[in-house]
Amino acid sequence: MTLMQGSAVRSFVVARIASGLVSILFISFLVFLGTALLPGDAATAMLGQEATPELVESLRQALGLDQPLLIRYLDWLWDALHGDFGVSLSNGQPAMAMLLPRLENSLILAFSAAVIVLPLAISIGLFAAIKKGRPFDTMSGLVSALFLSMPSFMIGYVLIYVFAVEFRLFPAVSSVRASTSLTGWVWALTLPVLTLVLVAQSHVLKVTRAAVLGVMGSDYILMAETKGIPRIRIILLHALPNALSSIVSICMITMAHLIVDVVVIEAVFSYPGMGKLMVDAVAYRDIPVVQACGVLFSAIFVVLNMLADLLGVLVNPRQRLPRRGA
């Protein structure tokens, strides 16, 4: 990497991190605004049947709900930056204390799916590029398009019907606890992980195939073909390294989408993760928990997308950075 390229990479990294932080800040405002505009009142919800106009007004003042929206947001943001998202309206526990164990479960689910889907989809995409125009290429494209067109919850319900109801191989409800054994975790996670794998594999497969085939038209690839080098060796040793930037980026973006998809999948399988907690909090109007989940989900999504851009540049700066005079 030349000195000029190194300077361009550093500038890009700083700019991308800055834009990511601004995005998270803007999303936090949207989350706060969205929950603030919901009908009802947090003070009334906390008091329940004991709510009287005097008690509601007193609690509203204690919670700062009588302040302007911008002042409330800044106070909430200051506390959130210090890890304090308030207390749950349903049980009085700190929202973060409820969130962190569920976040761990969600990350286990998403990471388990990623460990399977990324190498599997990349391998299939490479093989489809090697077998371009042949039956394997056609079938892999059709299967990936089929799962891409199906909603994730529908795939989950189909798997539940087949493997939990008809064959009774795996549980329909993925109930796990801290005391659950490793075998129990694997048994409970099989269907949710399989659902996420089927949902996420299409993007990685298609991008890997397209990136490799896009490089195959380069002059140095044509030169290698004229020398009689086998196609598989050309792809693995020459095309793949130059397509790695796009592949790394789609892998990180897929990780981001897995984090988002767990919200739906956890609700389908009643898996005790952060997505299930968020769905339950919305149902019970537990605003602090909804805010904490929304901000944390958004921050993870933004960070993973930011890493996709940064890793894509670091892997191959010349393919990602704009050229001077372009």
Amino acid in position 238: H
Number of other CB atoms surrounding residue 264 within 10 Å = 18
User: pLDDT: is 51 or 282 the higher one?
Assistant: 282
Residue 135 pLDDT more than 80? yes
Average pLDDT in the 53-79 region?
79
Instruction: Write out the two tokens for 156.
Output: 């989950």
The chain-wide mean pLDDT, for the chain, equals: 85
CA distances to 93, 191, 265, 267, 273 from 270, in Å: 22, 12, 8, 5, 9
Residue of 154, 147, 159 lying closest to 198 (CA atoms): 147
Q: Percentage of residues in the chain with pLDDT exceeding 90?
A: 44
Average pLDDT in the 300-316 region?
84
* Cα(313)–Cα(65) distance, integer angstroms: 46
Residue 163 pLDDT more than 60? yes
* Cα(137)–Cα(129) distance, integer angstroms: 7
**Domain 100-313: which topology?**
MetI-like fold (1.10.3720)
Average pLDDT in the 232-239 region?
83
Residues 164-208 pLDDT 10s: 999 999 999 998 887 888 898 999 999 999 999 999 998 899 999
* Cα(206)–Cα(101) distance, integer angstroms: 35
* Cα(201)–Cα(212) distance, integer angstroms: 17
Least confident range from 101-110, 238-247, 264-273: namely 238-247
CB 98 within 8 A of CB 286: no
Residue of 134, 86, 127, 101 lying closest to 286 (CA atoms): 86
Instruction: Write out the two tokens for 256.
Output: 């981001």
Please tell me the predicted confidence (pLDDT) of residue 8. Answer: 75
CA distances to 14, 182, 237 from 1, in Å: 18, 46, 21
* 155: Cβ contacts below 8 Å, ≥ 6 apart: 147, 195, 198, 199
* Cα(182)–Cα(287) distance, integer angstroms: 34
Please tell me the predicted confidence (pLDDT) of residue 6. Answer: 63
Average pLDDT in the 225-229 region?
83
Instruction: Write out the two tokens for 290.
Output: 């909804």
Report pTM. Answer: 0.84
Q: Where are the domains of the chain?
A: 100-313
Residues 5-37 pLDDT 10s: 567 778 888 888 999 999 999 999 999 998 887
Please tell me the predicted confidence (pLDDT) of residue 140. Answer: 93
Least confident range from 2-16, 42-56, 275-289: namely 42-56
How far out from the chain centre does Cα 219 lie? 37
Largest CA distance in the chain: 88
CB 161 within 8 A of CB 169: no
Q: Percentage of residues in the chain with pLDDT exceeding 70?
A: 89
Residue 257 pLDDT more than 70? yes
Residue 42 pLDDT more than 70? no
